[in-house]
């Protein structure tokens, strides 16, 4: 059975007068966020892009963050801006996302890009669901008529994932942690995507034989012997006995998220170059 993982990313910024530029904005010193940010910048550098990190302290004000974003919006050498989530509780994440120039919104979270996605227009699409779709289509290229079940309804993964699957002509059932009879719904899925962050939620007997299972959830779980393990939403040892293809956690969806971030940055750079011609 295929254990889905990231595919080789090729970038081509022909039409852009320079290497695309990406800035990741990090507020605070959360260890996990720092690791994610560094992996994104390292990948940008490996691909020949310009990558940098804007760091603000945990007690930075919302006004300070908005001022940084305004400065990045105005920079000609930066094509993509990503605000590393989560933000400290005293900062309004929606207001911050709305402040990013939609043309530089490589995380696809601005309301304008979200609206374009749901209208089926060209848009910068959220990186994680875009990566999930690439993984799904590496196993099943034509999703027409397939029954896809998405667990989770966030703006970051669940909703855009459903929109992308609908564009592929799949029949989509959107569920969430409070959906009644969720296990029986999941058993009907040819494609199952879970993105709720509840370790072990999806059991092996929830899965239709030979289904494609994409596990987006990541939860830190304390181990009996001490320390922590990162677990997904899906009980992998059970699911792997049933599924036709499945992503592990970690090193499943994560690398594809970063790959799609790089792709979005190149796309934004090429679109910017075209507008300036």
List 101, 105, 107, 215, catalytic entry: 107
In whole angstroms, what is the distance from residue 3 CA to residue 253 CA? 11
- Two structure tokens written together for 248: 């592990």
> Which residues, at least 6 apart from 6, have a Cβ–Cβ distance to it below 8 Å?
131, 255, 256, 259
Cα 254 to chain centroid, rounded: 8
Mark whether 107 is an active-site residue.
yes
- Tell me the three state secondary structure of residue 7: coil
- Looking from the CA of 55 toward its CB, the CA atoms found within 13 Å total 8
List 40, 104, 159, 208, catalytic entry: 40
- Tell me the three state secondary structure of residue 172: strand
Residue-level length of the chain = 277
Cα torsion at 79, 6, 203, 245 (round to 10°)? 130
Mark whether 84 is an active-site residue.
yes
In whole angstroms, what is the distance from residue 239 CA to residue 237 CA? 6
Closest to 138 measured CA to CA, from 252, 267, 12: 252
> Which residues, at least 6 apart from 138, have a Cβ–Cβ distance to it below 8 Å?
4, 7
- Contact predicate 129/117, CB 8 Å: no
List 84, 104, 105, 159, catalytic entry: 84
Residues labelled as active-site residues = 40, 84, 107
């Amino acid at each position: 059975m295929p254990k889905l993982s990231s595919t080789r990313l090729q970038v081509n910024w022909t039409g852009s007068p320079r290497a695309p530029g990406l800035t990741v904005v990090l507020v605070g010193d959360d260890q996990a966020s720092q690791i994610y940010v560094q992996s994104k910048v390292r990948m940008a550098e490996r691909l020949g892009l310009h990558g940098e990190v804007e760091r603000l302290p945990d007690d930075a004000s919302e006004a300070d963050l908005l001022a940084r974003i305004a400065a990045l919006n105005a920079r000609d050498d930066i094509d993509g801006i990503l605000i590393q989530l989560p933000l400290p509780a005293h900062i309004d994440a929606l207001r911050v996302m709305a402040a990013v120039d939609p043309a530089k919104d490589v995380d696809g979270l601005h309301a304008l890009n979200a609206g374009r996605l749901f209208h089926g227009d060209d848009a910068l699409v959220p990186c994680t669901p875009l990566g999930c779709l690439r993984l799904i289509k590496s196993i099943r290229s034509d999703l027409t008529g397939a029954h896809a079940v998405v667990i989770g309804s966030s703006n970051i993964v669940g909703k855009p994932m459903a929109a992308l699957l609908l564009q592929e002509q799949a029949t989509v059932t959107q569920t969430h942690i409070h959906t009644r009879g969720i296990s029986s719904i999941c058993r009907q899925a040819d494609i199952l995507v879970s993105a709720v962050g509840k370790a072990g939620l999806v059991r092996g007997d929830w899965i239709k034989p030979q289904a494609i299972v994409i596990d987006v959830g990541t939860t830190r779980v304390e181990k009996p012997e001490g320390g922590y393990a990162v677990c997904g939403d899906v009980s992998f040892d059970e699911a792997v006995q049933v599924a036709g293809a499945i992503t592990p956690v970690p090193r499943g969806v994560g690398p594809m998220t970063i790959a799609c971030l790089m792709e979005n940055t190149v796309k934004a750079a090429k679109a910017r170059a075209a507008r300036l011609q």
